[in-house]
């Protein structure tokens, strides 16, 4: 997945050279999606092990608390990322093209990924736990690779659509 992501970035060199802020923010975007998803997997696994979440695919109060907690954290982090990214871009002299539209594209990418990840990871954690496997060992490598692949993919896709 990481290599496919690298191939995707390398084969869109014109976007990287014309929107140089992409290279600056891609590691932060990848890790934001990866971090929130990793925290989710770790929490789901611990809940399943200590029995605060039953291994059934159904909406519970515990799941809702985790969903809203992580969604609000993601939104606050996104605002910080946009602010700090803009600041670092200005200080380091990296050209920022159409900051408002770029902020919209980044927000859209991150929110879409969060919903995809939350559903996939919840179902995946239950499925693995029921089969006696540790969801941490399977889902964290999966989610990191998926985030590293899907983040630049959606970002490039939305840049092509909107810019």
Partner 1 sequence: METQDSKGKIIKETFPSEVVSIVGDLLAGIVLSLLILPFDSFLVLLLMIPALLSLRGNLSGPFIARTSRDLVIGNFSKRSWIENVLATYTLSIITAIFIGIFSIILNLIFFKLYILSNQYFITIPIISIVLTLSISVPCSTGLNYLAFKKGLNPNNVVNPVMTAIDDFSTVFCFFLTIIMLGVP
Residues found near partner 1 in the complex (CB under 8 A): 1-3, 5-7, 9-11, 13, 16, 20, 23-28, 30-32, 34-36, 38-39, 41-43, 45-47, 49-50, 52, 65-66, 68-70, 72-73, 76-77, 80-81, 84-85, 88, 92, 94, 136-137, 140-141, 144-145, 148-149, 152
Question: 28 or 108: whose CB is closer to partner 1?
Answer: 28
Q: Are 145 and 19 in contact (CB under 8 A)?
A: no
Helix and strand numbers (H, E) in the chain are: 6, 0
Question: 55 or 141: whose CB is closer to partner 1?
Answer: 141
| CA–CA distances in Å: residue 31 to residues 37, 109, 111, 124 | 9, 13, 14, 20
Phi, psi at residue 125, to the nearest 5°? Answer: -65, -45
Q: Least distance (Å) from partner 1 to the CB of residue 73?
A: 5
Apex CA 6: angle with CA 4 and CA 85, to 5°? Answer: 130
Q: Least distance (Å) from partner 1 to the CB of residue 117?
A: 14
Q: Least distance (Å) from partner 1 to the CB of residue 133?
A: 12
Q: How far apart are CA 21 and CA 44, in angstroms?
A: 35
Question: 82 or 116: whose CB is closer to partner 1?
Answer: 82
Q: How far apart are CA 6 and CA 54, in angstroms?
A: 39
Question: 25 or 102: whose CB is closer to partner 1?
Answer: 25
Question: 53 or 158: whose CB is closer to partner 1?
Answer: 53
């Amino acid at each position: 997945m990481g290599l496919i992501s690298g191939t995707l970035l390398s084969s869109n060199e014109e976007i990287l050279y014309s929107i140089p802020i992409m290279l600056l923010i891609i590691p932060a975007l990848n890790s934001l999606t990866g971090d929130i998803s990793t925290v989710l997997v770790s929490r789901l696994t611990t809940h399943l092990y200590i029995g605060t979440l039953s291994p059934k695919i159904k909406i519970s109060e515990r799941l809702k608390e985790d969903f809203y907690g992580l969604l609000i954290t993601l939104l606050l982090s996104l605002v910080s990322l946009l602010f700090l990214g803009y600041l670092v871009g200005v200080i380091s002299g990296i050209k920022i093209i159409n900051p408002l539209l770029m902020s919209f594209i980044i927000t859209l990418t991150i929110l879409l990924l969060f919903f995809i990840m939350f559903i996939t990871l919840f179902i995946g954690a239950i499925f693995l736990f029921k089969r006696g496997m540790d969801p941490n060992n399977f889902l964290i490598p999966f989610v990191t690779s998926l985030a590293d692949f899907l983040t630049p993919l959606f970002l490039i896709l939305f840049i092509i659509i909107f810019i």
